[in-house]
Structure 1
Amino acid sequence: MTELHMQSIPISTIADVFGTPLYVYDADVIAATYTSLRRVLHPAIELYYSLKANPNISVTAELIDAGAGAEVSSLVELQTAAAAGAGPEQTIFLGPGKSDDELLACVEAGIRAVVVESRGELRRLAGLAGAESVDVLLRVNPAFTSTGSGLSMGGKPRQFGIDEEDIPAVVAEATGLPGIQVRGLHAYMGTRILKAADVVRNTAEILAMAARLRQDCGIELDTVDIGGGLGVAYFAKEQDIELDELVPGLNEVVAEFATGHPDTRLIMELGRYLVARAGTYVVRVRDVKTSRGERFAVADGGTNHHMAAVGIGSFVKRNFPIRHLTALDEPAVAPYTITGPLCTPNDVIGKAVPLPEVRPGDLLGVERSGAYGPSASPVGFLSHGHPAEVLVRDGTAHLVRRGDIPSDLLDRQILITRTKEHDMTADHTIADHTIKAIAVALDEVLQRELPPITEQTRLFDELHLDSTSVLELLMALEEGLGIEVDPEALRPEDFDTVGSLAEYVRAQAADSTAGSTAGSTAGSTAGSTSA
């Protein structure tokens, strides 16, 4: 049987090395998608990658390296873009409800533009900027409505942007705000647009609006962000937007605008279009069963990692393209409903999908899954955690995000310690939590692939700790668990196994708790006496 190869690597090899469920991205597809569009678009259009589609830092870096700018919508996305190589002059920040921390970070970074969504946000930004100068684009909620979009924006009351008719008054107010430099406009008309004529029409409307507002209120048009919304076909009877149909009309509209506004830079922001086709969500079948005549393939991952597969903007279940990755050349023999490990009947990533015979251990793939995957899914449901992510680049598979392990989910939680009357179940819970905390600390200190960490794991014989890593481990535990380590009290046997170290850590925690309780009691007594 023929199986899928990602570049030259069998998908079974990737799954065996990195485990399932996982997302696999092909860097060649990302690069080809970007360059094929960049090559044919009018040079006045700058392409920006919308990190919301897939914020993985390595995926982002592929597009930054290819020449894209970065459009971000959170503090972490801003930091991700910078770490991936996007310069501040290549970065814009947009989105409603920005926090003061996010606005201040934009000011301090000196990014190309903050896209302001309201008068209140404009005033907050001015107050935070102080003496600094900040370039701003005003996001417009246009009076017209977009066409051809799966999620239309404009023409209605929205949480996004400033109503078109209010723009002149906001521009006038902005001139009196210190540090605020209004450099242009932004409009985003919708997403998943699959017809070229609709993109051309929406772009023409946005550019006409920008020219009209410039004339009406004298707004500077250093930059106009025309949004994006280029769609990707997921479902039966859909077709990808054809560049041969899109480019002539779009370039004509842009060229006409550029003639009248030669100094204006245009931004097209794209997310889904650039990365969706590069990604495959790979799951391994755990069970195959028949229920009242319907075949089910129960996999190790489901809608907890790929909520988009439930159906985008549709009341009727429609399937993403799904293939049997380890039997590509086999004919379909029956329809299978593909489900995940969640305790809900809604955990269906494919309904009645025609497939070759499916057996436990087979690999199935949801294709065109490079956009709005785990970051737009309830990865915390049932505590399965975030899946692994792999980027195949130059014929090599690179782990670009490891899948969550139990300690990743537990170390952010805080167990409230009970009194000595608590039962043995609580003792075991605390012990398990301590072991997991040690596993996390070991992972941070050693930064290499480790075997499963148990109480019996020997620190020196199996993990090969040395004196330096022991000190780093203790410091990590001090910080992570809030204990204080007394070097004079340490004994060699405390570091025999993970279990012996856990006993030491718990003893230190108990001493610390007892000391703080005694100090609190003494202080309370002294206060009562003095009173």
Structure 2
Amino acid sequence: MSQLDTAWPAGRDVPDVEKLIRQTREQEQQPVCAYIYDLVALRERAHRCVNSLPDECKLFYAVKANPDPQLIASLLPIVKGFEAASIGEIRTIRGVSGDVPIIFGGPGKKDAEIEEALERDVMLIHAESLHEVQRIGWIAERRQQRVSILLRINLRRTLPEASITMSGRPTQFGIDEIQVPEAIRLVQSLPFVQLEGFHMHSLSNNLDARLHAQMVATYLQCVQGWMQEYALSIRYLNAGGGFGISYTEPERRFEWNDFMEELHQVWEDYHIPGIQLIFEPGRYIVAHCGYYATEVIDLKTNHDQHYAIVRGGTHHFRLPVSWQHNQPFEVIAVDDWPYPFPRTEWRQTTITIAGELCTPKDVLAHEVDVEQLRIGDILLFHIAGAYGWTISHHDFLSHPHPHFYYINGT
């Protein structure tokens, strides 16, 4: 098992990113507003994850975290494959590679999506309900095409708490554990559907690494029991992702070394011969490789509260307001001042960073302390590589989109 640094860096040295931003500002005639993705740091992080996994454990990247084709292309030679939650994501992946393995998940698959997924040669489909199993079987028989599926199960077990929980309680995800016997019988009755295993993605953004490994042990024990009870021969257990990122407390993190230490022991204790254990993280792989840079357009005081208005906001980067946290950032000082009148400058001030939208909810950080800030300086938001651009309402008020830049080691 290869050892990983306890605290992985947030990306390459920030001066590399800062240099790119300064170059961009010199070239553009408009205020800076951009996403920057460090593909070198992304590849380093993915390699470390893949190389530390036990034998027979495979890592897929969950494209929902960030479907940027350049990120997918960077991960292509490193990960085993990609997990897609829509036909759009499948098309994006296939635009990068015609044959990389794809797992197709999501609770609301339409017939046309299933049909196209089969045309695009997906490796596995996560079946989320008995009705979905029946529809997959109907489509497969009509096409005379054999389809491999994993049954997604919502366990009735005690599981760790996390930011988002999809299992262990009522949710729209998966098949209730008490329906497992019925689901297995249904699959076995369908001539063109092959049960290849189970999918148990139960939570998202979990920060307790050792408990996460114990959750995997619970999965393995469940699968062992079902295999014995129903005489199953299967090939995969998909444990999902859910490895956490803390945006507000740097000292809190998912300790990958601890997870690996515990997981290697779990795999030794509960190993099922012939089965591959799949992980499909998204946020954990790409969050730290991304930055969002936005220029301060105005500084103003209103009802004794200080506000920095930026070129950008939640229509570009919705994650902070969605999760109701202050996104970590730093100030990049810009000395150039093109106007003939004095420049507003604040020192030792508590500010709220608001965007350009006509809504009071357009806030990236609320009441945070800054040492110095001037109109024209640039705010560089860290940990912006996951669930940033693509979860945002891009065209609200029809503001221009941000630029996208990539650090690729050249």
What's the TM-score, normalizing by structure 1?
A: 0.69
Where in structure 1 are there 5+ consecutive unaligned residues? 396-531
Runs of 4+ aligned residues of structure 1 deviating over 6 Å after TM superposition are: none
Q: Does 1:12 pair with 2:22? A: yes
Can you list the C-alpha shifts for 1:115-150, whole angstroms capped at 9, x where unaligned? 110111111111212310111111001111420311
Determine which of 152, 156, 165 is the counterpart of 1:139.
152
Relative distance call for 1:179 and 1:59 in structure 2 (3 A) is: same
State the identity as a percent. Answer: 30
Paired residues of 1:311 and 1:319 also in contact (CA < 8 A) = no
Task: Show the 5 A alignment for 1:480-491.
Answer: none
Relative distance call for 1:180 and 1:385 in structure 2 (3 A) is: farther
Q: Does 1:364 pair with 2:374? A: no
Task: Tell me the SS of whatever aligns to 1:224.
Answer: strand
Paired residues of 2:18 and 2:332 also in contact (CA < 8 A) = no
Can you list the C-alpha shifts for 1:84-136, whole angstroms capped at 9, x where unaligned? 22625x21000011011210112222221011101111111112123101111
Paired residues of 2:81 and 2:102 also in contact (CA < 8 A) = yes
What is the Cα deviation at residue 285 of structure 1?
0.9
What is the Cα deviation at residue 249 of structure 1?
0.5
Q: Does 1:111 pair with 2:106? A: no
Alignment partners' CA distance in 2, 1:214 and 1:359: 64
Alignment partners' CA distance in 2, 1:17 and 1:370: 24
Relative distance call for 1:74 and 1:382 in structure 2 (3 A) is: same
What is the Cα deviation at residue 384 of structure 1?
2.0
- The residue aligned with 2:4 is none
Counterpart residue identity of residue 231, structure 2: G
Alignment length (residue pairs): 384
- The residue aligned with 1:33 is 45
Q: Does 1:323 pair with 2:323? A: no
Can you list the C-alpha shifts for 1:281-327, whole angstroms capped at 9, x where unaligned? 11111111122332211001111111111152xxxx53121110237
Task: Tell me the SS of whatever aligns to 1:318.
Answer: coil
Task: Tell me the SS of whatever aligns to 2:71.
Answer: helix
Task: Show the 5 A alignment for 1:142-181.
Answer: 142-181=155-194
Paired residues of 1:72 and 1:92 also in contact (CA < 8 A) = yes
Task: Show the 5 A alignment for 1:437-516.
Answer: none
Paired residues of 2:297 and 2:375 also in contact (CA < 8 A) = yes
Determine which of 87, 91, 94 is the counterpart of 1:75.
87
Alignment partners' CA distance in 1, 2:138 and 2:398: 42
Higher helix share: 1
Alignment partners' CA distance in 2, 1:8 and 1:235: 22
Task: Tell me the SS of whatever aligns to 1:358.
Answer: strand
Determine which of 45, 55, 63 is the counterpart of 1:43.
55
Alignment partners' CA distance in 2, 1:326 and 1:341: 21
- The residue aligned with 2:284 is 273
Alignment partners' CA distance in 2, 1:155 and 1:311: 24
What is the Cα deviation at residue 389 of structure 1?
2.0
Where in structure 2 are there 5+ consecutive unaligned residues? 1-12, 335-345
- The residue aligned with 1:192 is 205
Counterpart residue identity of residue 293, structure 1: D
- The residue aligned with 2:110 is 99
Relative distance call for 1:299 and 1:108 in structure 2 (3 A) is: same
Higher strand share: 2
RCO higher in structure (CA 8 A, sep ≥6): 2
Counterpart residue identity of residue 206, structure 2: I
Determine which of 256, 259, 262 is the counterpart of 2:269.
256
Relative distance call for 1:16 and 1:66 in structure 2 (3 A) is: farther
- The residue aligned with 1:206 is 219
Return the index of the structure with the highest Cα Rg: 1
Alignment partners' CA distance in 2, 1:125 and 1:249: 37
Paired residues of 1:142 and 1:154 also in contact (CA < 8 A) = yes
Determine which of 61, 65, 87 is the counterpart of 1:53.
65
- The residue aligned with 2:358 is 343
Alignment partners' CA distance in 2, 1:61 and 1:17: 28
Can you list the C-alpha shifts for 1:312-371, whole angstroms capped at 9, x where unaligned? 2xxxx53121110237xxx97222211100111111101122223222221101110100
Relative distance call for 1:4 and 1:223 in structure 2 (3 A) is: closer
Counterpart residue identity of residue 327, structure 2: F
Paired residues of 1:322 and 1:353 also in contact (CA < 8 A) = no
Alignment partners' CA distance in 1, 2:332 and 2:36: 12
Q: Does 1:352 pair with 2:352? A: no
Paired residues of 1:183 and 1:219 also in contact (CA < 8 A) = no
Paired residues of 1:4 and 1:11 also in contact (CA < 8 A) = no
